[in-house]
Structure 1
Amino acid sequence: MGARDMKTAILIAAPVVLGLAGASVWLALRDAPQAALDPTVPVMPATVDIAQGEALYAQNCAACHGANLEGQTEWRTPDADGRLPAPPHDETGHTWHHPDRVLFQYTKLGGRDALALQGVELDSGMPAFGDVLTDREIWTILAYIQSTWPERASAVHAERTAADLAKEGN
């Protein structure tokens, strides 16, 4: 199966995996014009302190995403305000499906603004951490999260990050 066929298969299967609530977001992202890679967004540093990332995660992320990266219950079902609860960041969630650039932007800018870069209007519950954390701290947290993924999830994530950088010529 070629890369394009694999992408199509993933796009077709994703709504089933995400459930009906996530399907509309997935389809909107799939059909949205792709935003150019923001040159002000750095790439993951070559070295990070995973223990510091775990501590920063505990301070800034665990209240919503869980101390063990398990996310909130019923994370695929919108709450009373129509927002999806915080998803898990372990292998049971979808974090590893996204390239580093998307994860960084989502964390720094918050869900609403990060999705707006993709042409998607959605009232995401994810707040912006750009005024709370430095870029390096955001990357350190992301590195900690990624360090917990099994080999298969890490490999898929690495492929998607490489493809994302390649399409932008970085």
Structure 2
Amino acid sequence: MKNTNKWALGAMFTLVLAGGYWGLSQFATPQAEEQTGLLPYKNASVIATGQKIYQANCAACHGNDLQGEANWKQPKPSGRMPAPPHNETGHTWHHSDELLFNLTKYGIARLSNNPNYQTDMPIYEDILSDDEIIAVLAYIKSNWPTEVQQRHDQINAGS
């Protein structure tokens, strides 16, 4: 490979990295750098944005206080599952940031490769931007007790 091609390839790689950094930099804070995972759950600005988006798009089913629907572990008469709590009493924190993001954006049917799976949960791919989904998930995580946040960070770290 000629030196010119190597230089161009290196420059392109640097621009891609810089673009990715710039896209995430709006969420960067000294505290966020200490976190493990995708969610900037210690960033007050992101949390405030996420709370507004959550109230507008999620609270009707998952509750204003993240409490979920009653009897969330039992199917409804329709056979569909109720909206689970997103507080520490639910299972949200049992899943990595990446899985939570993908479930929110693409839905369970797509992720499980089961197009017949029926749920009341909307697919947010064409409703919320990636940053908005991340803000909502950061808001949710910010409400968990510290020990649950730490356990979730361990899940994100793969340990």
> Out of 123, 143, 150, which is 2:145 matched to?
150
Residues 148 and 45 of structure 1: is their aligned pair in 2 closer, same or farther, counting only changes over 3 Å? closer
Contact 1:69 1:88 in 2 (8 A): yes
Rounded Cα–Cα distance in structure 1 between residues aligned with 2:115 and 2:152:
22
Divergent runs of 4+, >6 A: none
What is the aligned partner in structure 2 of residue 131 from structure 1? 126
Residues 144 and 92 of structure 1: is their aligned pair in 2 closer, same or farther, counting only changes over 3 Å? same
Amino acid at match of 2:152: H
Matched residue of 1:154: which SS?
helix
Contact 1:62 1:69 in 2 (8 A): yes
Equivalent residues in 2 for 1:2-81, closer than 5 Å: 44=38, 49-81=46-78
1:112 equivalent to 2:112? Answer no
**Pairwise CA RMSD:** 2.2
Structure 1 unaligned blocks of 5 or more: 1-41, 165-170
1:102 equivalent to 2:99? Answer yes
Rounded Cα–Cα distance in structure 1 between residues aligned with 2:123 and 2:46:
22
Rounded Cα–Cα distance in structure 2 between residues aligned with 1:95 and 1:59:
19
> Which structure is larger by alpha-carbon Rg, 1 or 2?
2
- Deviation (angstroms), 1:45: 6.0
- Deviation (angstroms), 1:121: 6.6
Residues 45 and 148 of structure 1: is their aligned pair in 2 closer, same or farther, counting only changes over 3 Å? closer
Rounded Cα–Cα distance in structure 1 between residues aligned with 2:111 and 2:62:
18
Rounded Cα–Cα distance in structure 1 between residues aligned with 2:146 and 2:115:
31
Q: Deviations over 1:42-90 (max 9, x none)?
A: 9726556110100000000001100000000110000112111000000
Equivalent residues in 2 for 1:149-168, closer than 5 Å: 149-163=144-158
